[in-house]
Amino acid sequence: MQGGDINSFEQAVREVPLILTDGGIETRIMFETNIELPAHVEVAALVDDPSGDPVLRGIYTSYVEAARDHGLPLVIGTPTFRANLNYVRRAGLGGEEAVRYLNARAAAMHREIRARSGHEQTYIAGVIGPSGDAYSPGVSLDTEAACDYHLLQAEALAGSGVDFLYAPTFPAVEEALGVAAAMAKTGVPYVVSFVLGRDGRVLDGTSLSEAIERIDCSVSPAPLFYSISCVHTSIAARALREESAAELTGRRLLELKANASALSPEELVRLDHLEGDDPERFAEEMWSIREEFGLKVLGGCCGTDDRHMRALAARMAS
């Protein structure tokens, strides 16, 4: 299987038992370096930046090396979570052309990282974040507006050589439904990922099974699979246990990208240090969830680094 062939990621999902993903990006920049994240677009602005670009590439390369050393396929997501029109305009970078440029350059960086690594089973996820605060469902767009809004970034990434589109940390089903419709229009495989509250529900109060059913029944083609992102393993496990009777959730939800800390993302970013479980504990908790619920795509989010991904990779490879 060659990375870069769109169908190859779908094939990997069907045939490969386990796939590793990258870990934290923004939190590593914040706590491991002296680089200040640019306002609004954050890590997207570090691509091609003389100081930021080498650091950003080094972080992603550390994840590629963790997967390669353990013989695992890997997903790396473009640093484009905030490279959408609202944030690009707030940053004073321009409009639609700036969105296309930032997303194309981020995808090109990932293709270069993959080529230099020699790890062919590295798959590039074109990352599309919410239009507003990922932890505030009240500011989310309705479905029709979200489809129109996210289509620009979806098309920019789809045309830039990514293997699939990935919409992580969506707090409301209405906007998730809209971004799914936008991604579906591109013809590229795509994944929708929800952020959950401590009650195990999407932040707008919707259960995982209802969220998955609404999108599956409304958008064609449907997502390749669904994901949970930016929550601690304890919250993910609680949510999945509460959904244990929902056959649809068990069949369609294949991925967890977990935080290293049980603190909320808002609490984490206010700290002056990295907070979270040690790598071995993180890996064991992730593996326990995989064993109990059959997830096959495992990785990290806020507070995780290459040590966490190496510990998880070693557990997966064993």
Paired residues of 170 in beta bridges: 194
pTM of the model: 0.95
Q: Can you give the pLDDT at residue 243?
A: 85
Give, as one character, the DSSP assignment of residue 44: G
pLDDT per residue as tens digits for the range 55-101: 999 999 999 999 999 999 999 999 999 999 999 999 999 999 999 99
Q: DSSP of 176-191, one letter per residue?
A: HHHHHHHHHHTTS-EE
pLDDT per residue as tens digits for the range 140-198: 999 999 999 999 999 999 999 999 999 999 999 999 999 999 999 999 999 999 999 99
Q: pLDDT tier at 264 (50, 70, 90 boundaries)?
A: low
Phi and psi torsions of 22, nearest 5°: -70, 175
Q: What is the C-alpha separation between 159 and 296, in angstroms, rounded?
A: 27
Residue 2 has pLDDT above 50, yes or no: no
Q: What is the C-alpha separation between 93 and 98, in angstroms, rounded?
A: 6
Give residue 276's region: left, alpha or beta (phi > 0; psi -120 to 50): left
Please provide the average confidence, as pLDDT, over all residues in the chain: 94
Residue closest to 191 by CA, chosen among 141, 235, 252:
252
Task: Please provide the size of the chain in residues.
Answer: 318
Give the chain's largest Cα–Cα span.
51
Please report the beta strands in 213-290, taking only residues with DSSP state E, as ranges in sequence order. Answer: 225-232, 253-259
Q: What is the C-alpha separation between 60 and 248, in angstroms, rounded?
A: 33
pLDDT per residue as tens digits for the range 266-286: 666 566 666 678 999 999 999
Q: Which CATH superfamily is domain 6-317 in?
A: Homocysteine-binding-like domain (3.20.20.330)
Residue extents of the structural domains in the chain? 6-317
Q: Can you give the pLDDT at residue 271?
A: 63
Q: What is the mean pLDDT of residues 282-294?
A: 97
Q: Can you give the pLDDT at residue 245?
A: 67
List, in order, residues 6 or more apart from 251 with CB less than 8 Å away: none
* Chain mean position to CA 219: 20
Please tell me whether residue 194 adopts helix, strand or coil conformation. strand
Q: What is the C-alpha separation between 16 and 299, in angstroms, rounded?
A: 16
User: By the 8 A CB rule, do 177 and 143 touch?
Assistant: yes
